[in-house]
Structures are given as C-alpha cells and as structure tokens.
Amino acid sequence: MKRFAAIAFALLLAVGLNAQGLEMLDKVKDCRAVFHYTYKLSRGGAEFTAVTDGDVVVEDNAYVLEGLGLKVTSDGTTRLSVDPAAREAVVETVEKEDVFTNPALFIGSWRKYASRLKVNSSGKDSMDVTLTLDDDTRARFILTGIKFTEKQGMCDFCTDTSSLPADYLITDLR
C-alpha cells in the first residue's frame, strides 16, 4: 500500500510540475517574450544532425529570430530572411508555420501540443520541454533567459528591405 501511495504521489507531482512549467508560457499572449533557444530533433533516441539555436523576440504572431548566421523577421504576414555573410535577403509571404518549421513559434503555440509535451525541467527563466509525436519523433526545446516585457508594437518586426545596404541581392517571392 505504501508503494502504491508513493507511485500515486510521484505521478501527481510529475503532472503538477508539467502544468507549473507550462503556465509560464501563458504570459506570452499578453507580453513580448525574449529568449535563447536550442532546438533538437530525434527519432527513436538518435539525434539528427539538425540542431539549431538562436535568440528570439516574439510578440503575438510576429518574431525576430537570429541564429545560424541568419536574421529572420516576420510581422505574421511577411517574412524577411537576411544572410549578412552572403549579402542576400529573401522576402516571402508567410504560409503555414508551426514549431517544426520555426521553433521560435513554440512559446506562443505550445497549447496546441500540450497533451504531447513533457517538461524535463523549468526554472524562473528557463524551460526544457520535449514534444513527442506518434512516429516517435521528438522535438526538444530548451529555452533560457526568458524575459517577458510589455508589448511594444510591431515596429521591431518590420519586413521592409529599404534599410538593407544597396549591394544586397534581394529576392522578393511574394
């Protein structure tokens, strides 16, 4: 009986920690969120080579993501991807984006995947979460340095190319 009680307590504690860790993410609907992320994919326990990390600013469905030498800015309708090393930029209409095509969006759309999430750890300004799909694909999101501030408007998410240097090759796919 003691063993059953201990198992039941451990399960309740795990469920409570999962909910407690995720409730921090609810703040993003009323705030601007800034954080560093690491995104790892695995299947059946083996890590893919596609491991990315970067810095993100998210407000509503707009974001700025900097990582892998790129700066991607989206106002939710248009996305501007700038590669300073190549002196190139691509402007395109935002089609369907989700956490698998853009890990920066995880913080605002986690509820869509809540039943498949496991909080590995969470702290005052950090979170380590794994999303598992039916085919045993796992997406691990490690968010650190999470800060929530008041919304500041969309000016930081401008996708206008006029501020880019004249020598940039700009491809407009809209």
pLDDT at 116: 84
pLDDT at 76: 86
Q: Which of 111, 150, 151, 148 is nearest to 22 (CA)?
A: 111
Q: How confident is the model at residue 48 (pLDDT cuts 50, 70, 90)?
A: low
| Least confident piece of the model among 11-25, 52-66, 158-172 | 11-25
Q: Bigger pLDDT: 89 or 50?
A: 89
pLDDT per position as a tens digit, 78-109: 999 999 999 999 999 988 766 666 666 666 67
What's the distance, Cα to Cα, between the start and end of the chain in Å?
65
Q: What angle do CA 50, 127, 143 make, to 5 degrees?
A: 45
CB atoms within 10 A of CB 3: 7
Q: For residues 8-33, give the mean pLDDT.
A: 56
Q: How confident is the model at residue 134 (pLDDT cuts 50, 70, 90)?
A: confident
Domain 2-172 class? Answer: mainly beta
Cβ proximity of 65 and 112 under 8 Å: no
pLDDT at 161 over 90: yes
Q: What percent of the chain has pLDDT over 90?
A: 32
pLDDT at 68 over 60: yes
Q: Bigger pLDDT: 15 or 73?
A: 73
pLDDT at 16: 34
Half-sphere exposure of 44 (CA within 13 A, CB side): 1
In the chain, where the domains are located:
2-172
